[in-house]
Structure 1
């Protein structure tokens, strides 16, 4: 399982600032600071921190295009949800919410993961039972 907090510990140059953000769960300057909304639940913190760490890894220091943001979301989902875990949990989950909860991610991150499966993964995922309702 990917642990963004463990990765953060290996990056002493990064400071996390807990604050209240409007219309965002997290932000980064792409260099040394990540702002996380203090009202987030732990699973939201995990997903948001991973997303912002990827922006830092990629050197994104300003607002990004929709395409780059989509790529960061896809990578966030891949890191947080290994494909074998996605299949294993899908076999018993009864809903997309239950599947997300069991994988310790938000439903948004789960949908990003499903929407970015390659063709082979998509076929295997479709064979596992559970109606996730993902588009």
Structure 2
């Protein structure tokens, strides 16, 4: 059964299917994403808000705040940072988008320490 452009899918209980042409990093991200769906009991066709929530949780699980701070301290290139963190650029962007106010403050503080006067 084809996935029709999707990277993965789950029945929400006991099955996760992956698109066979993914790179290892893509499989890592897709499996984590689908596991979050399974944990939440999502069967199929989630609303956009639910999908955003799953993407945010996936990103949090795959990128710890210390790892994110470390990566962004030495590069501002999305692809380089994602490669270092062993995630896709999409997951890295989801992590940045889902920062809590406290995490955002830590990121700003770390950036200001690395780039004095910026």
- TM-score, normalised by the number of residues in structure 2: 0.88
Choose the corresponding residue for 1:126, options 108, 111, 114: 108
**Aligned residue number for residue 3 of structure 1:** none
Point out the more displaced range, 94-103 or 120-129.
120-129
Q: CA deviation at 1:121?
A: 1.2
Greater share of helix:
2
Q: What number of residue pairs does the alignment pair up?
A: 112
Choose the corresponding residue for 1:54, options 4, 17, 36: 36
Counterpart contact for 1:20–1:38, Cα < 8 Å: no
Q: What residue ranges of structure 1 are gaps of 5+ in the alignment?
A: 1-18, 131-135
- TM-score, normalised by the number of residues in structure 1: 0.77
Following TM superposition, the consecutive aligned residue runs of length 4 or more in structure 1 with deviations greater than 3 angstroms are: none
**Aligned residue number for residue 92 of structure 2:** 110
**Aligned residue number for residue 25 of structure 1:** 7
Q: What residue ranges of structure 2 are gaps of 5+ in the alignment?
A: none
Pair 1:40 & 2:41 matched: no
**Aligned residue number for residue 100 of structure 1:** 82
Tell me how large the CA RMSD over aligned residues is: 1.6
